[in-house]
């Protein structure tokens, strides 16, 4: 599961990291939630660019765009066959650059949010797929979902799923819309090879209206820290 994440790096940093020709005018976000716009990296006509798409994929065949609020994640094991995601997996793949993502650990009857990020900082490139929905009336909606896989051993005590991370040497293959090697693409959907750190953060993350740098600061957990 990946329902909230952080995109706080400046556009200049994102452009350099992903080889973009243009610097995207990104605003720092510390609590991106479903249905909100977020930056994704796409390859269009051989050119990489960063675009703002809605978090929560709306399939092209949908009758109501609100269905996207429930389609924020695509399971790697079924992405090639799931009706909502298979067309996007074949032709419309993207990267979601994040400075971290949140997971929740059950604590009694409540849940404690934890931030997961690359040890020492730096961007992670989460695997994503995107779609374009054209309603009978109104503007088209471009949206995306984050691909998830089994959690790495270090994160399993927080959640049994985590976002699939595309490593830098594999990014071109993942983004290439002409690449139709489904088995090869699925083999890229795995946990991050980088060392990740995680720590408890404020429960203010639970409310999507909260979006400020304090959310990514360590906070006291309600129980003993995960070993």
Q: Residues 160-163: contacts with CB within 8 Å, 24+ apart?
A: 161/1, 161/2, 161/73, 161/75, 162/2, 162/103, 162/116, 162/191, 163/2, 163/96, 163/98, 163/101, 163/124, 163/126, 163/127
Name the residue with tokens 């066959």: 81
Give the sign of the dihedral formed by CA 188, CA 77, CA 195, CA 49.
Answer: positive
Catalytically annotated residue among 43, 103, 142, 171: 103
For residue 103, indicate whether it is catalytic.
Answer: yes
For residue 150, indicate whether it is catalytic.
Answer: no
Six-digit token pair at 187? Answer: 């083999």
Catalytically annotated residue among 2, 43, 131, 171: 2
CA 27 vs. chain centroid, Å, equals 17
The CA-based diameter of the chain, rounded to the nearest angstrom, is 52
Question: What gap in Å lies between CA 127 and CA 227, rounded to an integer?
Answer: 28
Name the residue with tokens 């094991």: 77
The set of catalytic residues is 2, 103
């Amino acid at each position: 599961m990946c329902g909230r994440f952080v995109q706080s790096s400046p556009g200049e940093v994102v452009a350099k990291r992903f080889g973009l020709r243009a610097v995207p005018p990104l605003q720092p976000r510390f609590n991106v939630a479903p249905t909100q716009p977020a930056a994704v990296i796409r390859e269009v006509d051989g050119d990489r660019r960063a675009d703002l798409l809605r978090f929560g994929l709306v399939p092209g065949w949908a009758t109501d765009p609100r269905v996207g609020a429930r389609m924020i994640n695509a399971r790697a094991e079924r992405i090639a066959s799931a009706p909502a995601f298979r067309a996007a997996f074949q032709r419309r793949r993207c990267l979601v650059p994040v400075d971290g993502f949140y997971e929740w650990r059950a604590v009694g009857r409540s849940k404690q949010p934890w931030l997961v990020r690359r040890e020492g900082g730096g961007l992670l490139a989460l695997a994503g797929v995107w779609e374009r929905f054209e309603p009978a009336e109104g503007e088209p909606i471009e949206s995306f979902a984050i691909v998830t896989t089994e959690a790495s051993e270090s994160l399993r005590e927080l959640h049994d799923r985590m976002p699939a991370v595309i490593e830098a040497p594999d990014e071109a293959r993942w983004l290439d819309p002409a690449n139709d090697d489904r088995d090869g693409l699925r083999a890229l959907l795995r946990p991050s090879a980088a060392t990740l750190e995680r720590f408890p953060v404020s429960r203010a993350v639970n409310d999507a209206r909260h979006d400020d740098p304090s959310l990514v600061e360590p906070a006291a957990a309600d129980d003993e820290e995960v070993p």
